[in-house]
Structure 1
Amino acid sequence: MERFVLFGTQHLIILVSGIIISFVLLILGNILGRKFFGRFTAIIVLIIKIVELYYRHIVYGEKIKELLPLHLCNIALIFVILLMITQSKWLFQPCYFWCLGAVFALITPDVTAPLPNYVTLSFFITHFYILFGMVYACVYYKYRPTLTGYFASFIALNIICLVVYFINRELGTNYLFVNRVPSFKSPLSYFGDWPYYIIVVELIYIVLTYLIYIPLKKKHVKFGVQRF
């Protein structure tokens, strides 16, 4: 069976095509109506994801407990879909800082089958949509990351990780890779055993999310009637 090749021709074509398509969709949003188009794309992507989960369960025989949306990119996707539907500036904050995971997922995709496999197609569509949603919100809703959002998103993610840790213990799963190092080869394999690799990932997250906060951070912070 032919397998998906990391950084192969198809992978590179998908990355370039995804960027071009996202840019075209961004223009369409301005033409067709920004809020309407945001909601429309969110519903389409939600349908694509639901069909993917159904396909993996029926065709691949994956168990329901293995299909729960508890990995970071799936959690971020849910938040982005809600953001695009509601235009919530509060949802934008975690979406912005968590979208970094989608970047790494697109560079090193966890897929095995090449296109036109539906699961592979859905993987790239949904991960590109996380980034598209952030660009869309920045360009059309004028949302910007805040320092409060930076800290709140980090705290929220750690709370989610703690909850998921106990869910994993009950189900025998390893969502968010908080219970053990992934069984497959990954960057986490080089960060030590549990729980040391978690500490390394936390430090990397703190640095990288701050780096993406700096370019778009709000220029002013309001305290009462004063502006600094």
Structure 2
Amino acid sequence: MNSPYLSYTLALEPFQLFSPSHLISLLLTVLLAFVLFICRRMLRKPSADVLARSLLAGVLALSELCFQLWHVWTNTWSIGEALPLQLCSVMLLLSMFMLLTGSYRLYEVTFFAGICGATQALLTPELFYPFPHFRFIHFFVAHAGIVLACLYMTWVRGYRPTFASVLKSMAVLNLLLLIALPVNHWTGANYLFVSRKPENPSLIDFLGPHPWYILSLEAVALVLFTLLYLPFRLRRRAAHPKRLDA
């Protein structure tokens, strides 16, 4: 693999946080979300809805497939690096099936863990490859796709989370933790970043040493999920002032 844009070994200047390419990628994600919001009524037509969900699910599936093929092509595929056990990898797969099936149960999980996890990844990527390397493009397409999938089901399909959805999402996170810890121990991997902190700057840097930052992450996740749910709670209470929702 001789191309510097496809090679596993970094042959370019490494990715820089908040570099022009990073900021442009963030801006494009925001613009796509804005376009989705503007077009939400048009996308509610059955034929448009099916087409849009299929296309977005296809983008997510293709991004994961290309990632796996890239590891195979560069002879770097390994259990410790390429399993879809990172939070956003799991959320990508769940988002894909959510779009294809219209599952509200998957929405309850992906809305919180997907949006919070992917947004954190977009803002502080664990990424070393700069634009226009394949991994840079894959990273931002995959993570932006997760956010857009959740927003699509909210704005177009009209799905709304409840506080029970917050608890379900936290339960799934802890289930993933129970899977990641033994896999990390056996393979030396760092899935979910629960064996050591990411090498690039991130929120985890402010949450204490290992392993105590895992507990801090639990608290941060619960707070973020609750804050993300709060607008729905307030809007529901405003619409039904005498009714207590779930």
Q: Give yes or no for contact 1:56–1:119 (8 Å, CA) kept in 2.
A: no
1:111 equivalent in structure 2: 127
| Alignment correspondent of 1:57 | 72
* Whole-angstrom CA distance in 1 between matches of 2:17 and 2:202: 13
Is residue 92 of structure 2 the alignment partner of residue 81 of structure 1?
A: no
For 1:35 and 1:143, the matched residues in 2 are separated by: 16
In 2, the alpha carbon distance for the partners of 1:127 and 1:2 equals 22
User: What is residue 219 of structure 1 aligned with on the other side?
Assistant: 236
**1:46, CA displacement in angstroms?**
0.5
Give the aligned partner of residue 68 of structure 1.
83
TM-score (normalised: structure 1): 0.88
TM-score, length-scaled by structure 2? 0.82
CA spacing shift, 1:6–1:184, aligned 2, 3 Å:
closer
Residues 22, 57 of structure 1: CA spacing in aligned structure 2 closer, same or farther, 3 A cutoff? Answer: farther
Partner of 1:112: helix, strand, or coil? Answer: coil
**Paired residue for 1:224?**
none
Aligned AA (1:206): L
Aligned match of 2:116: 100
Q: Which amino acid aligns with 1:74?
A: S
Tell me which of the two structures has the higher relative contact order, counting C-alpha pairs closer than 8 angstroms and 6 or more residues apart: 2
Name the counterpart of 1:40.
Answer: 55
Aligned-partner Cα distance in 1 for 2:196–2:137: 29
Where 1:219 maps in the other structure, the secondary structure is helix
Between Structure 1 and Structure 2, how many residues are aligned?
223
- SS in structure 2 of the partner of residue 126 of structure 1: helix
Letter in 2 for 1:219: R
Q: Distance in 1 between matches of 2:166 and 2:102?
A: 19
Q: Which whole-Å CA distance do the structure 1 matches of 2:200 and 2:131 have between them?
A: 22
1:45–1:54 distance in 2 versus 1, CA, 3 Å: same
Tell me the alpha carbon deviations over residues 167-199 of structure 1, each in whole angstroms, 9 at most, x when there is no partner. Answer: 211222121122334455543244333321111
**Match 2:27 to one of 10, 16, 28:** 16
The answer to whether 1:177 aligns with 2:193 is yes
Aligned amino acid, residue 225 of structure 2 = T
- Tell me, in whole angstroms, the C-alpha distance in 2 between the residues paired with 1:25 and 1:53: 29
Residue 205 of structure 1 corresponds to: 221
Structure 2 vs 1, CA of residues 7 and 183 (structure 1 numbering), >3 Å: closer, same or farther? closer
% identity of equivalent residues: 30
